[in-house]
Copies of this chain bind each other. A is one copy, B any other.
Amino acid sequence: MQIGMVGLGKMGGNMAERLRRAGHEVVGYDRDPKVGDVASLEELAARLVAPRVVWVMVPAGEPTRSTVMRLGELLSPGDVVVDGGNSNYLDDRKHADALAEHGVGFVDVGVSGGVWGLENGYALMAGGDPQHVEKLQPIFQALKPEGEDGYVHAGTVGAGHFAKMVHNGIEYGIMQAFAEGWELLEATDVVTDVPGAFRSWRTGTVIRSWLLDLLVRALDEDPDLAELKGYAEDSGEGRWTVQAAVDHAVPLPAITAALYARFSSRQEDSPAMKMVAALRNQFGGHAVSS
């Protein structure tokens, strides 16, 4: 089928390519005029045959919001806009309502896959009304990995990004668990073949997983991780997971610990621990490091 793709960066560009390989016609637009098939959203709308489907793959927040709003003006009743970016699920309802005023449908899709997606497919989590989600099935089938899994219609508008958000929250927790285990092994001299221990765990254990495979690969390349700094960004979904949990009174101690560890990793010095040092100095005449 025919689809418009807005945003042809690393993710959008590869997804367009995967769709073309599957025989779909992709009309691409990017704000970089050197990339893409059309020069403007207006031209994109004109080139697509109604009922149109436009997949938006631009940064979350204002770029996504303004793109969706502009598409609402350009598209017609019966068309569908897909937000495949990393939007906060709370934005989805606003976008869906704004498009609905123009008779345009909205589907949010959480997309996982990164650099492997082009070859192996993208895991997809969709949210939206069944009538809109149904129209996108050929696209979803082309993008998703082979096999029976890798795609879910998770619920109504917002469910796709919410599911992806929770996926990422879980991912934070799992990564932290592996990282803590590695630190403990490294901090003691009991286990002398730490990379070997992780490698051995890939078969027959409870914790075998793709992240363990990646961990083994990382240690193969740099057995002590000597080339890296203990510095980790967080990408939005981790924060949103914790904030959604707090909104709904759900305790997430391990996932929150993972998020806070990333926050701490980016501090040159811990302000809180300066205060602890100050208090110790006040009450005990403890030696402080200054």
Q: How far is the CA of A89 from the CA of B188 in the complex (A)?
A: 12
Q: How far is the CA of A147 from the CA of B204 in the complex (A)?
A: 10
Q: Contacts A144-B204, A167-B201, A204-B113 given: A252-B192 contact, CB under 8 Å?
A: no
Q: Contacts A166-B181, A231-B288, A272-B182 given: A203-B145 contact, CB under 8 Å?
A: yes
In this complex, the member of A156, A219, A280 whose beta carbon has the largest number of chain B beta carbons within 10 angstroms is A280
Q: How far is the CA of A229 from the CA of B229 in the complex (A)?
A: 20
Chain A 174-201 per-residue mask, 1 if CB under 8 angstroms from chain B, else 0? 1111111111111110111100110111
Q: Total interface residues on A, using CB and 8 Å?
A: 138
Binds B, one of A17-25, A72-80, A118-126: A118-126
Q: In angstroms, how far is the closest chain B Cβ from the Cβ of A259?
A: 7
> Which residues of the other chain, B, contact A247 by a CB distance below 8 angstroms?
239
| Interface contact B276-A261, CB-CB below 8 Å | yes
**Neighbour of A114 across the interface among B188, B285, B290, CB < 8 A:** B285
> Which residues of the other chain, B, contact A193 by a CB distance below 8 angstroms?
152-155
> Which residues of the other chain, B, contact A183 by a CB distance below 8 angstroms?
250, 252, 270-272, 275
| Interface contact A289-B229, CB-CB below 8 Å | yes
Q: In angstroms, how far is the closest chain B Cβ from the Cβ of A60?
A: 15
| Interface contact B273-A149, CB-CB below 8 Å | no
Q: How far is the CA of A276 from the CA of B181 in the complex (A)?
A: 12
Q: How far is the CA of A171 from the CA of B171 in the complex (A)?
A: 14
> Which residues of the other chain, B, contact A252 by a CB distance below 8 angstroms?
180, 183-184, 260
| Interface contact A280-B232, CB-CB below 8 Å | yes
| Interface contact B177-A173, CB-CB below 8 Å | yes
| Interface contact B202-A149, CB-CB below 8 Å | yes
Q: How far is the CA of A230 from the CA of B278 in the complex (A)?
A: 9
Q: Is A46 close to B, CB under 8 A?
A: no
| Interface contact B229-A274, CB-CB below 8 Å | yes
| Interface contact B251-A254, CB-CB below 8 Å | no
Q: In angstroms, how far is the closest chain B Cβ from the Cβ of A151?
A: 6
| Interface contact A230-B274, CB-CB below 8 Å | yes
Binds B, one of A32-40, A95-103, A209-217: A209-217
Apart from A121-B203, A233-B286: 16 A-B pairs, beta carbons within 8 A: A114-B283, A148-B203, A149-B203, A149-B204, A166-B191, A167-B205, A170-B207, A173-B173, A183-B272, A184-B241, A188-B248, A211-B279, A214-B283, A228-B277, A228-B281, A252-B260
